[in-house]
Amino acid sequence: MASCPVTGKNSNALASLMSDNPRYAEMFDVDKETANSGVDLTRDYTDDMNRLRDKAPVQKGSLRALLGAQDIDHNDVPRDQYTFFSYRACEIGFRENQLFSSEGYNESPGVRTVGTTILSMIGKPHKRLRSAAQPLFKRPKVLDWWNKRWIGETVDALLDRLLDEDAVDLNTELCARLPMAIVTRAIGLEGEDVIEFRYQLTRATFGAAKLPPEEAAASRALVDKTLRDLIADNARQPGDNLIAGLIAAEIVDEDTGDKRSLTEDEIFGYCKLAIFAGGGTTWRQLGITIDALMNHYQFWEACREDRKLIDLAVEESLRWRATDPVFPRVCTADTVVEGVPVPEGVRVNLCLGAANHDPTVFKNPEAYDIFRKKEHHMGFGFGPHRCLGMDVARQEMIVAINGLMDRFPHMKLDPDKPKPEFRGLDHRGMSAVTVRLK
């Protein structure tokens, strides 16, 4: 792989992006993701989810069981399960967050190791804690601070190193590296620490079950020490980063009504959640978007001529092939959804992968069409738990695709490589994004 020199004050920060660190292949392989174990990785389950939605909007059983796949429950509290498939059912599940509670995430050992986060909260506590970070992730802040501070220069560094190449796999050379570097740098890490921290965090949480206890404990200790040191450094001398912003934030204490700062555990949780959500979801979704444009080349050409259309291309990929097609909730009271009784205490799976293809909302839903009539998709979730970092993810993808079009306007899929495949069920993505750049 060719490389280009990185100069200036950010040379150390970006040097790790130029390396061929084997951690990339280990961390960013859709086939190896724990969540995808027990499914047929040669299949795109979209049609199967659509058939289930057309059969009934709400059905008893987990998504995996209804698909005939190996049913793996990552929670330590056993519950009967229901799956919502229609747009209307999923909309209710997302919006009515106290009836269909996110607190069920606490039943996952992997999620619990992340710590106190907005992911597993509801009602006023969720609203208060989310409000602390919300200003740091809003669109104006993203277009200014995030873009100027990290996104633009990271995209440039990654793509400039490819200028002398004829053919590459963008999955490893761009899609995986970009969001991981941005979100990890945003909390204040630089250089090789960007890669190592993300690797150890994965081992300490969702990969811990496969490790000897002492190895998982060592990874947790490294992650906690790294974050504690970063928080302490920013408390003494605030930097221009996400941790400093969280330290400066205030929320209203739900017990006293007084304003207070975030606790160290709350800052921990925000950082870990941002790294997992930002580093994993955007990696897969960027690859999906590029592949969609390569396979619908008329839209690549349209976006190349009018860059404002890139926004539409990204939004359509989020609807068409959302990387995370199902979100869990716990039903807190007996209710009826789409005419189907749903008992209190069951785990509910919101299958947005099917909802985003509901023909009652989206015309010709199986087509990738950037010019379709605008309707609200669920690629980032819906309701009070809609993805906090969605504007960061959008901007990363938009800037990356712009950068590709600037440098490689006639890029196409590599005919000498196997056709990339869309794989997985719980975390879906491309097997590769192999392209010829020139």
Phi and psi at residue 331, to the nearest 5°: -80, 125
The confidence band for 246, taking pLDDT boundaries of 50, 70 and 90, is very high
- Alpha-helical regions (H) of 349-389: 352-355
Mean pLDDT of 79-83: 97
Q: What pLDDT shows up at residue 19?
A: 66
Say whether pLDDT at 216 is over 90.
no
Q: Looking at per-residue confidence, does 388 or 28 come out higher? A: 388
The confidence band for 51, taking pLDDT boundaries of 50, 70 and 90, is very high
**Cα 392 from chain centre:** 11
Say whether pLDDT at 5 is over 60.
no
Say whether pLDDT at 9 is over 50.
no
Say whether pLDDT at 303 is over 70.
yes
Terminal Cα-to-Cα distance of the chain (whole angstroms): 16
Say whether pLDDT at 4 is over 60.
no
268, 227 in Cβ contact below 8 A? yes
Nearest to 277 by CA among 111, 107, 430, 143: 111
d(CA 321, CA 319): 6
The radius of gyration of the chain's CA atoms, rounded to the nearest angstrom, is 21
In whole angstroms, how far apart are CA 390 and each of 102, 138, 225?
Answer: 19, 9, 28
Count of Cβ atoms closer than 10 Å to residue 99 Cβ? 19
Amino acid at 190: E
Q: What pLDDT shows up at residue 21?
A: 73
Q: What pLDDT shows up at residue 377?
A: 97
SS3 58: strand
**Residue 29 burial (10 A CB sphere; 0-12, 13-18, 19+):** middle
Q: What pLDDT shows up at residue 17?
A: 59
**Cα 284 from chain centre:** 8
**Residues near 432 by beta carbon (within 8 Å), at least 6 away in sequence:** 169, 171, 417, 418, 420
Q: What pLDDT shows up at residue 73?
A: 81
Q: Tokens 């809609």 map to which residue?
A: 386
**Cα 238 from chain centre:** 28
Q: Tokens 């979704």 map to which residue?
A: 285
Say whether pLDDT at 110 is over 90.
no
The DSSP 8-state label assigned to residue 362 in this structure reads: S
The confidence band for 38, taking pLDDT boundaries of 50, 70 and 90, is confident
Do the bridges between strand 167-169 and strand 434-436 make them parallel or antiparallel, or are there none, so unpaired?
A: antiparallel
Say whether pLDDT at 45 is over 80.
yes
Q: What pLDDT shows up at residue 324?
A: 93
For domain 11-436, the CATH superfamily is Cytochrome P450 (1.10.630.10)
d(CA 135, CA 142): 10
Mean pLDDT, rounded, of the chain = 89
Task: Provide the angle, in degrees to the nearest 10, between the axes of the packed helices 282-295 and 309-320.
Answer: 110
d(CA 217, CA 204): 7
The confidence band for 8, taking pLDDT boundaries of 50, 70 and 90, is very low
d(CA 20, CA 219): 22
**Residue 91 burial (10 A CB sphere; 0-12, 13-18, 19+):** buried
Q: Which of 2-6, 34-38, 56-60, 380-384 has the lowest mean pLDDT?
A: 2-6
